[in-house]
A and B are shown apart, each in its own frame.
Chain A
Amino acid sequence: MTAGSESVAHLDALLPLVSAERMAATVTALASAEFTGRRVGTAGGAAARAWLVAHLADLGAAVDTDDFPVRNVPELYAAPAVVWGEGETSTRLTFGREVAVHSTSADTSEVRRGPLGVAGSNDPTGRWLVVPAGGNPLDAARDASGAAGLLVSRAVDADGWQYTVLAGPDPGPLPILTLDAGTHRAVLAAATSAGWWSANTPLRRRDVTGANIHARFPAAEPGGIEVLLTAHYDGVGDHPGLRQPGASDNASGVAVVLEAARILAAARPAGVGVAVALLDAEEVGALGSAHHSQQLQSGDVRPLVINIDGAGLLDQAAAVEAGGPAPALLALLDQAGRHTGLPLAAGPVASDNRRYAAAGLAAVGIGAGMAGYHSPADTPDRVDPHTLKAIARLVVATVHLAASAPATLSSPIGDKR
């Protein structure tokens, strides 16, 4: 038996050890009410971090955390109370579906009631102005001095939710609410008659502390390859009265990284060192990876980075986005995909991998689908165990092949089928 075939045999012995059940249990735990959606700077986020630190320590890793400041994290501190009508009729809107607070809204805890108007057409003073579909709320805001607030149209997802986004511009001076298309049409029509609107926008910004989790398993021997497995553990967080579990995004990615680390830590493939970074504050702009990549940039260690964001619902192929000096890493990933039978396709993975790539490291982001993105529908039951298993097998195979790449790499970059 050659060294190469021996290594492949070793890998084939490892792959059946990947447990979908164990990963599903991790997803369920991280998505539980105890962790409140894991928004950066919250008690739920801290509790999830403590849980993960203990989990990694159980795997035999040396674990520590690294704090960093995060400014202006949006936090909805109450469900908005929104009622509108024409004359004597009134309709209360459902938060999260029919109405949501725009990410650039001003914070108003008190309910404001006023007549409806059309942005750009009516005197804004005291009115809630409906921005016609396709209009830019920032443009509308410039001409809306004295208005009670703005109402803009927004698409809903397949489950009817207006998904939550934390990253974005700082708030403007006006309250802004987003309406689903049907509500927006009705309110726009009412704005030309005797329509009225009553609402608050309880959205504040908090300066908080984020914390990355670092786990180190035995390093590679001199001349070996260091691999860094990453996934963000933060989520967009629960809203008052509205749970947002963050199962696919990104408890699924964390579960994959933990499972791969478990297998690799036990197997200890020669010539490869494995480290894990579970990152905070991705949802507010990939700030955890920005912090970590800067640290790596100033140090001597230049690992190959494999980031998992979304391992919830694979369709035809896992998306792979690469950056930095990553051709060799892509060749390994290709080989691992072939070995495990997982199709891969170049596609956007707008996540922490971009930070590491921007820091000059070879980095790939792998995304394998999410149901219920950033909404209450991102629940554990919608995370496909087969997808978890497929991605974890891919990661294990990639890292294992990195140790024996010269002997087994039969599909170098450029190889066309």
Chain B
Amino acid sequence: MSENTQISPATAGGFAGDPVAALAVSGSGSCCGSPAQAVGSILPPAGQLPTAGPCCGSQQAAEAAGSCCGTEAKTEAVTTGQGCCG
């Protein structure tokens, strides 16, 4: 267990705020991101509502769906060598 992990019945569990914020996670409407980015002690705040449509898959699939992978996100993905999901 990491030094900062606090899991015990004495710890206040559940969401610290409104659980509905999990429906508006920043970046969930884009292609990019990885679970690794969700592991730090500082989680990104909830942000804009996710867009509709598939949010994973190949660049071609995203383009075919007309959603998901915006130009900026696509460029970032290519530059860093990072793909859409996983």
Contacts and interface: CB of A to CB of B under 8 A. Distances in A.
A374 B28 CA distance: 21
A168 interface: yes
Contact of A358 (B10, B22, B55, B82): B55
A350 interface: yes
Contact of A373 (B34, B43, B61): B34
B79 A165 contact: no
B86 A348 contact: no
Contact of B19 (A102, A138, A289, A333): A333
Interface in A131-185: 136-138, 152, 154-155, 163, 165-170, 178
A220 interface: no
B19 A367 contact: no
Contacts of B56: 167, 285-286, 289-290, 350-352, 354-355
A414 interface: yes
Interface in A374-410: 374, 384-387, 390
A282 B22 CA distance: 21
A340 B22 CA distance: 19
25 contacts: A167-B86, A168-B78, A168-B84, A169-B58, A170-B58, A178-B81, A282-B86, A284-B83, A315-B2, A315-B5, A315-B41, A316-B4, A316-B5, A319-B35, A327-B19, A337-B15, A341-B9, A343-B13, A346-B15, A346-B22, A347-B25, A347-B43, A351-B85, A358-B55, A367-B35
A336 to B, nearest CB: 8
A96 interface: no
A319 B38 contact: yes
B33 interface: yes
Given A178-B81, A327-B20, A351-B35, 12 more contacts: A163-B36, A166-B83, A168-B81, A283-B86, A286-B84, A310-B35, A310-B38, A310-B39, A350-B33, A350-B34, A350-B84, A370-B36
B54 A290 contact: yes
A335 B22 CA distance: 15
Contact of B57 (A163, A287, A338, A349): A287
Given A285-B58, A338-B13, A321 B28 contact: yes
A14 B82 CA distance: 41
Nearest to A235: B86
A127 to B, nearest CB: 21
Given A166-B83, A413-B20, A350 B28 contact: yes
A83 interface: no
Nearest to A397: B13
Interface string B20-51: 11111111100011111111110111100010
Contact of B78 (A136, A284, A333, A339): A136
Given A168-B84, A416-B18, A348 B5 contact: no
A354 B85 contact: yes
B18 A103 contact: no
Contacts of B32: 350
Contacts of A322: 22-23, 25
Given A334-B19, A351-B86, A154 B54 contact: no
A343 B16 contact: yes
A321 B25 contact: yes
A385 B79 CA distance: 36
Interface string A307-320: 00110111111011
Contact of B1 (A284, A349, A386): A386
B82 A168 contact: yes
Given A168-B59, A319-B38, A314 B5 contact: yes
Nearest to B60: A170
A316 B41 contact: yes
Shortest beta-carbon contacts, A-B, top 9: A167-B83, A168-B83, A337-B14, A369-B39, A286-B56, A373-B36, A338-B14, A319-B38, A347-B43
A342 B7 contact: yes
Contacts of B4: 315-316
B34 to A, nearest CB: 6
A315 B14 CA distance: 15
A165 B83 contact: yes
Contacts of B59: 168-170
B85 A346 contact: no
A81 interface: no
A198 B43 CA distance: 42
A414 B18 contact: yes
Nearest to B23: A322
Between A349, A350, A416, A417, the greatest number of chain B beta carbons within 10 A of the residue's beta carbon is seen for A350
